[in-house]
Amino acid sequence: MNGFQMTYTVIGGLGIFILGIKYLSESLQSMAGDLLRRTINLLTSKPIMAVLVGTFVTAIIQSSSITTVMVVGMVNAGLMNLTQAIGVIYGANIGTTITAWIIAVKVGKYGLLFLGLGAFPMMFSKNEHWKAIGKLFVALGFVFIGLKYMSDAFTPLRTDPTFLSYLQYFTADSYLSLWGCILVGCLLTCIVQSSSAMIGITIALAGTGAITFQTAMALVIGQNIGTTITANLAAIGTNTNAKRAAHAHALFNIFGAVFMSFIFWWYIGFVDMFVAGNPNMLDAMGNKPNIATHIAMGHTIFNVVITIVFMFLIKPLAKLVTWITPSNKERDKFKSKLKVLGPTPLAPALALEQAQQEIAQMLDTLKKLLLHTRDYLSLDQDDNALLDKIVQMEGHFDVQQKDVTVFLCHVMEEPLSPEQAALGYGLIRTSDEIESVSDYCSSIAKLYKKTLTKEDSQLSVEAKSDIRSLYKDVMGFYDVIRRFFDKRDLDLVEEYQLKSRQIHIRADRTRKNHMERIRSANCPPLSGLVFSDMIVASRRITNHTVNIMDAVASTIPNIRAA
C-alpha cells in the first residue's frame, strides 16, 4: 500500500468511524432522551451528584465536548454554579471513556453483520423504538468497519523505516518523550476536535503493532487535554462565570496529566496487572490482540483516579479559576439576547432541554416586563425612562423569539422521536406567544401615556382604578401559566380556564363602566377609544397567555393523545 492509498484509506475509515459515533449518539439519545433531560435537572449542590450526571449524560451522547459546551451555556445563564459545573466536567471525563470500550469489544469482524441487521429496521420500521435500535446496530457497524479500515491502513507503518525513525522520539520511555507524546495527542485532538476520533486512531495504530501500549496511553492523556479546546471556544463572548467553567475543564485535565506523568510507569504496570494478557504481545499476523482492552481500561482508570483525587479539590479549583479569570464588570453588564442557547444546537436531547430553560428565562423576563407595565399604569405623571425601558424590553423579545425559533428549527432538522418533535414545536409556539404578550405590554404602556399627556384622553380616578384592577387580574392569570410551565400540573388546567373566563367577563364590565362615565361627562369622549384599546390589549395578553398554556400542554404525551 503506497502513501496515497494509505492516506485516503485512513481518511475514509475515520469518516466512517465518526459517522458511526454520530449515529450511536443519536440512537442512544432517541431511546433515552426523556431520561437524559430528567437527569440534567438532578443537579444539586452535592459534588457526587454532579459527577454522576456528567458521567451519565456523556455516556449517552458520546461526547464530553458537547457536555462541557452545555455546561458553559448553563453557567452563562446562571442556571448552574461554578462548583456544580466542575463536578459535571469531572463526570464528563469518566463518561467519555465508554467510546474506548465500544471499540475494544472483540466483535470488529462482525461490522457488516451489525450493519445488515440494523439497516432494515432503521429504514423500514414505523416503530420509533425499533428504528432507534436499528440505528444503534448500524452505528456499531460503522464504528467497527471504520476502525478496520484504519487498522488496515496503519499496518504497513510497523515496518516503515521513516515512521519508525520518527517514532523513536515518541516512545514514552523517558519523561521528556512522555511529554512529547502527551503534547502530540493534545495537538491532534485540538485539530480534530474529537477525542473519540483520536481514541479510534490510537487504538487502530496500537492494534497493528505500530506503537507500544505506553505510547498509546501517553497519547490518550494528551487527548484528554486537547478535547477541552471546544468548551473554551464556546466560552468566547460569554460572561465571566462561563469562562471560568471552561477554564476549569482545561485546568482539571492539565493537572490530571501532570499528576499522572509522575506515576506514569507505575500506572502502566498497574493496568497491565489489572487486565489479563500482555498488551504488546504480537499474534501470527503481527497484530496486538490485547492492547485495545488495555487502552480502554487504562483510559477509564486514568479518568476515575483523577476524578477521585480532585473530588476533594473542587472548591480550591473553583477559587483558582476565579483568581485567574477576574470578573470583567463592564463585559458582564452586557446581557445577550439568548441566555442559555449557544449559536448552534447541541445533541437534540440536550438542545431541547436548553431550549426549555431558555423559554423559562423568557417567561421570567416577561414577568419583569409585566411588572414594569403595572408600575407605569400606577403613575399619575408620565415617566419617560420607565416607558423607554418597557419598549426596549419588548424589542429584545422580538430578537430573542427569532433566535430561539432559528435554533429550534435547526434542532427539528435532526432525527427526533415523536415526543421530541412535539416538544420542539411546542417550544417554538411558546416563544412566539411570549413575544406577542410583550407586544401588548408595550401597547398598553403607550396607550396609557396618551391618558397622561393628552388632555382629550385623560382618565378619571375611577377609570384608572378600573384599568389597574383589570391588569392586576391579568398578571395573576399569567402567574398560573408560569407555574404550569414548571410543574406540568394538569390540575392547573381547570384553574386557568376558569380564570380566563373571569377576566373576559371583568373586561366587558370594565368597558361598560367607562361608557357610563363618558355619558355622565366624568371622562372626555376620546378617552373611550384609548380606554377600549387598553382593554383589548389586556384581553389579548390573556388570550396569548392561554395559548402559552396550550403550547406547553401539547408537549405532554397524555394530553396530546387526548
**444-473: b (≥16 Cβ within 10 Å) or e:** bbbbbbbbbeeeebbbbeebbebbeebbeb
Asked whether residue 492 carries a pLDDT value surpassing 70, the answer given is no
* Residues 230-241, mean pLDDT to the nearest whole number: 72
Which grid coordinates are listed for 239?
Answer: 460572561
3-state helix, strand, coil in the chain (%, to 5): 80, 0, 20
Under a CB-based contact definition with an 8 Å cutoff, are residues 361 and 404 in contact?
no
Residue 338 falls in which region: left (phi positive, over 0), alpha (psi -120 to 50) or beta: beta
Asked whether residue 559 carries a pLDDT value surpassing 50, the answer given is no
pLDDT digits (tens, 9 = 90+) for 179-224: 989 998 898 888 877 777 888 888 888 888 888 888 999 999 998 8
Rounded Cα–Cα distance for residues 326 and 322 (Å): 6
Q: E-assigned strands of 87-141?
A: none
Rounded Cα–Cα distance for residues 265 and 274 (Å): 14
pLDDT digits (tens, 9 = 90+) for 367-396: 999 999 999 999 888 889 999 999 999 988
Residue 75 has a pLDDT of 74
Rounded Cα–Cα distance for residues 184 and 181 (Å): 5
Residue 159 has a pLDDT of 65
Rounded Cα–Cα distance for residues 555 and 562 (Å): 12
* Residue 32 binned pLDDT confidence (cut-offs 50, 70, 90): low
* Residue 437 binned pLDDT confidence (cut-offs 50, 70, 90): very high
C-alpha dihedral sign at 551, 365, 484, 76: positive
Sequence-distant (6+) residues with CB within 8 A of 330 are: none
Residue 138, phi then psi, degrees to nearest 5: -60, -40
Residue 238 has a pLDDT of 67
Please give, one letter per residue, the 3-state secondary structure of 162-204.
HHHHHHCCCCCCCHHHHHHHHHHHHHHHHHHCCHHHHHHHHHH
Neighbours of 432 (CB within 10 A): 17
Residue 561 has a pLDDT of 36
Q: Does domain 348-561 have CATH number 3.40.50.2300?
A: no
Rounded Cα–Cα distance for residues 47 and 535 (Å): 51
Rounded Cα–Cα distance for residues 379 and 382 (Å): 7
Q: Which residue has the higher pLDDT, 513 or 107?
A: 513
Residue 331 has a pLDDT of 45
Rounded Cα–Cα distance for residues 523 and 454 (Å): 13
Which grid coordinates are listed for 103?
Answer: 471499540
* Residue 237 binned pLDDT confidence (cut-offs 50, 70, 90): low
What mean pLDDT value characterizes the chain? 80
Asked whether residue 436 carries a pLDDT value surpassing 90, the answer given is yes
**Could you give the percent of the chain with pLDDT greater than 70?**
84
Q: Which residue has the higher pLDDT, 329 or 206?
A: 206
263 Cα distance to chain centroid: 36
Least confident of 1-10, 267-276, 372-381: 1-10
Residue 335 has a pLDDT of 44
Residue 160 has a pLDDT of 67
Rounded Cα–Cα distance for residues 25 and 28 (Å): 5
Rounded Cα–Cα distance for residues 387 and 442 (Å): 8
Domain residue ranges in the chain:
3-330, 348-561
pLDDT digits (tens, 9 = 90+) for 502-520: 888 888 888 888 788 777 7
Tell me the DSSP string of 492-521: HHHHHHHHHHHHHHHHHHHHHHHHHHHHTT
Q: Which residue has the higher pLDDT, 316 or 75?
A: 316
* Residues 33-49, mean pLDDT to the nearest whole number: 66
* Residue 33 binned pLDDT confidence (cut-offs 50, 70, 90): low
Rounded Cα–Cα distance for residues 264 and 267 (Å): 5
Q: Angle, nearest 10°, between helix axes 418-453 and 3-40?
A: 60
* Residues 401-410, mean pLDDT to the nearest whole number: 87
Question: Best-predicted range by mean pLDDT among 19-23, 313-317, 346-350, 484-488?
Answer: 313-317
pLDDT digits (tens, 9 = 90+) for 127-179: 777 888 888 888 888 888 887 788 777 777 666 676 656 666 677 778 888 89
pLDDT digits (tens, 9 = 90+) for 444-468: 999 989 888 887 778 888 888 888 8
Asked whether residue 302 carries a pLDDT value surpassing 80, the answer given is yes
* Residue 76 binned pLDDT confidence (cut-offs 50, 70, 90): low
Q: Which helix (H) or strand (E) covers residue 556, if one does?
A: none
CA distances from 408 to 38, 85, 405 (A): 20, 25, 5
**Could you give the percent of the chain with pLDDT greater than 90?**
10
